[in-house]
């Protein structure tokens, strides 16, 4: 049976609405545009156009997967971050707007205090959004990106190549500080990280899109969500330059605990930066 664009949109909206997808109308239209390889404006200006069978089947599969809770950005394979498009797969977290707060804070401070080339380290790089964006937007930044997942690193390399900064980033596979230990003498002016910070007991209560589809390795922060911060601050002095800065994303309500860890590690300049919802989301720590 053939369907026009208008009919396909009506079916998608109903299917996604019944599945409890909040933005069912807009997501249906975006998925159809993706399936047709057309712009969104085309979808709305050609409502009577009949869809070819192959396109209709592709659209049906996309909508049914979204109705089952597969995140929209995994279906289309891309997410925008700081005005740049990043490839995403189920092997990495989907970039969040909150992480842009961290990125912008580092960019602001780099503009103020780093006129010469400097080294930046991104721990738990995932899709590479922090390392790639900062290497792209800060000309004097040379980045190192570390992740335990080979799949994540492969994707981060793709994103670096896409944005023309592959030569500015060194990718290292391993667990936090581990791959840096052999690189004796290498230090960084800035260390950034968006580590796993969801307390283990809260994972089961996350939205189904997150708990059922995003990688557990990138979510589970241990019993209180602070496991990675303990590990970061236990090794940071071997790699952060004397006047260097650490910028870390944290979960809701975790700033006091992470600040305590930073203070115990000898950091004196501590600043919490709020996200768009007024939640203290980023810790800036300097010696």
Please say if the pLDDT value at position 115 is more than 80.
no
pLDDT (mean) for 125-148: 97
Query: Would strands 84-87 and 118-123 be described as parallel, antiparallel, or unpaired?
Result: unpaired
At the fourth CATH level, which superfamily is domain 79-286? Vaccinia Virus protein VP39 (3.40.50.150)
* Per-residue pLDDT band at 112 (split at 50, 70, 90): confident
Please say if the pLDDT value at position 111 is more than 80.
no
Q: How far is CA 171 from CA 50, 179, 260, in A?
A: 47, 10, 30
pLDDT (mean) for 156-179: 97
Residue 35 confidence (pLDDT): 97
Q: What order of strands is seen across the sheet that includes strand 169-173?
A: 169-173, 141-147, 118-123, 188-193, 240-249, 280-286, 269-274
Residue 148 confidence (pLDDT): 96
pLDDT (mean) for 197-211: 94
Residue 96 confidence (pLDDT): 94
Please say if the pLDDT value at position 282 is more than 90.
yes
Average pLDDT for the chain: 95
Residue 2 confidence (pLDDT): 64
- The domain limits of the chain are 5-68, 79-286
Among 282, 280, 271, CA closest to 252 = 280
Q: Give the whole-angstrom CA distance, residue 193 versus residue 215.
A: 17
Task: List, as one string, the DSSP characters of 25-57.
Answer: HHHHHHHHHHHHT--HHHHHH-TTPBPPHHHHH
* Per-residue pLDDT band at 185 (split at 50, 70, 90): confident
Tokens read off for 73: 């950005």
The angle formed by the CA atoms of residues 278, 281 and 282, to the nearest 5 degrees, is 130
Q: Can you tell me whether residue 153 is helix, strand or coil?
A: helix
Q: Give the whole-angstrom CA distance, residue 242 versus residue 40.
A: 50
């Amino acid at each position: 049976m053939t369907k026009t664009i208008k009919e396909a949109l009506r079916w998608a909206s109903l299917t996604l609405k019944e599945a409890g997808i909040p933005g069912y109308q807009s997501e249906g239209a975006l998925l159809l545009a993706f399936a047709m390889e057309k712009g969104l404006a085309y979808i709305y200006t050609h409502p009577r156009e009949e869809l070819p069978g192959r396109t209709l089947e592709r659209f049906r599969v996309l909508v049914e997967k979204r109705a089952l809770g597969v995140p929209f950005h995994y279906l289309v394979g891309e997410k925008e971050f700081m005005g740049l498009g990043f490839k995403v797969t189920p092997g990495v977290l989907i970039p969040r707007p909150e992480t842009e707060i961290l990125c912008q804070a580092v960019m602001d401070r780099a503009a103020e205090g780093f006129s010469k080339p400097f080294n930046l380290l991104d721990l738990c790089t995932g899709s590479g959004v922090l390392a790639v964006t900062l290497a792209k937007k800060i000309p004097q930044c040379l980045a190192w990106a570390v992740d335990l997942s080979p799949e994540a690193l492969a994707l981060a390399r793709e994103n670096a190549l896409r944005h023309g900064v592959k030569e500015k980033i060194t990718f290292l596979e391993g667990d936090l500080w581990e791959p840096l230990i052999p690189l004796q003498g290498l230090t960084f002016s800035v260390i950034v990280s968006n580590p796993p910070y969801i307390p283990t007991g809260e994972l089961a209560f996350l939205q189904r899109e997150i708990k059922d589809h995003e990688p557990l390795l990138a979510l589970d922060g241990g019993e209180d969500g602070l496991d990675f911060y303990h590990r970061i601050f236990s090794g940071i002095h071997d790699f952060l330059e004397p006047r260097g800065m650490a910028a870390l994303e944290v979960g809701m309500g975790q700033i006091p605990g992470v600040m305590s860890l930073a203070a115990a590690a000898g950091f004196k300049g501590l600043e919490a930066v709020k996200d768009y919802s007024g939640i203290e989301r980023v810790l800036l720590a300097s010696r």
